[in-house]
Amino acid sequence: MNTRVIFMFAFSVGEQRDAAECLEMILCKISPQASEVFQGALRDTTKCSRGHKIIEETNEFLTLPLSLNDTHDSSYSVESGFKRIFQSKPLNGRNKVHCNDCEETTEATSGCEMMVFPQILTLLLKKFDFDNNTRKHSKTNRRVDVPRELQTKDKKYELYAVVNHIGSLRGGHYTATILSNEDNTWYEFDDTHVSKVKEQLFAETGTYNSSTAYLLVYRASAKHDDTNQIPPPTLNTRHSSRPPDSTTVEIEKDESSPKLCKSPTCKMTPLWISLIVIACVLVAILIVVLSITYS
């Protein structure tokens, strides 16, 4: 399908949208219980060198973006890029921050951790970027090493769907590669054509090398269920060194707090989850076909 995905109920005809925006738009339109299957939350914490909390905030997400410019290796490792999200980063030199408790600008560290583990984890490979030197947007076709499994501190995820982008920044084509629960076989969805992938993903190695992968969809392993799910944080702004706003929050664990999703919908079988993803792809295809027909 053409990359000019058009949502006539929300956007102007001819306005370009990509697969990540398509997915998030669909998840916002379906039932909240179903969309919560894809929803997680990250907690970012900044502490000074003496251990005082300077900033602590939580952000919900439907997709996690990975920058392909983090390293200069010939092939980008998705597993390494995912782990870098949770690595502590030093803040020194020009990046020092002000600590109210120390009453001075000081060195600090910034770290991130997963507070709510989504049942479906979607990684967005940032293939489209803005070049500050040329002042233009561009697309990278850098090859990526996609792992079959991703391990977090408390959950294990297994890949079962890939959305591919073929073409340039201004025009191209989307396809989807999805693992069938019925026969454990990968199938290619290309508009109305569905076919078995000739060279099955991970048939010979534990990683899949691709230059077209754009969205990677993982589901929580059945062996790592919701027993390790961390309750959503209680939000409080009283320890922030910045003026209170909608994004600066203090997080306090509350064991009595309800989990992000208590509905039975969030405990759907892998088959139902696969059907939701396939339905999203088919809806996008239908919208594009209609837009092309009437354009």
Percent of the chain with pLDDT over 90: 46
Mean pLDDT (the chain, rounded): 76
Per the listing, tokens 């870098």 go with 84
pLDDT tens digits, residue range 243-268? 333 333 333 344 433 344 444 444 44
| pTM check: above 0.85 | no
Domain ranges (residues) in the chain:
19-294
User: What is the rounded CA–CA span in Å between residue 282 and residue 61?
Assistant: 23
Which pLDDT band, with edges at 50, 70 and 90, does 281 fall under? low
Which pLDDT band, with edges at 50, 70 and 90, does 15 fall under? low
pLDDT tens digits, residue range 63-100? 999 988 777 777 899 999 999 999 999 999 999 999 99
pLDDT tens digits, residue range 144-167? 999 999 998 889 999 999 999 988
Per-residue pLDDT, 245: 37
pLDDT at position 133 over 60: yes
pLDDT tens digits, residue range 198-242? 989 998 888 999 999 999 999 998 765 544 444 444 333 333 333
pLDDT at position 2 over 60: no
Please state which of the four CATH numbers 3.30.365.10, 3.90.70.10, 1.10.1200.10, 3.30.470.10 is assigned to the domain occupying 19-294: 3.90.70.10
Per-residue pLDDT, 29: 85
159 contact partners, CB below 8 Å, separation of at least 6: 146, 147, 148, 149, 150, 179, 201, 208, 216, 217, 218
pLDDT tens digits, residue range 162-212? 999 988 777 778 899 999 999 999 999 998 999 999 989 998 888 999 999
Find, among 58, 55, 42, the residue nearest to 108 by Cα: 55
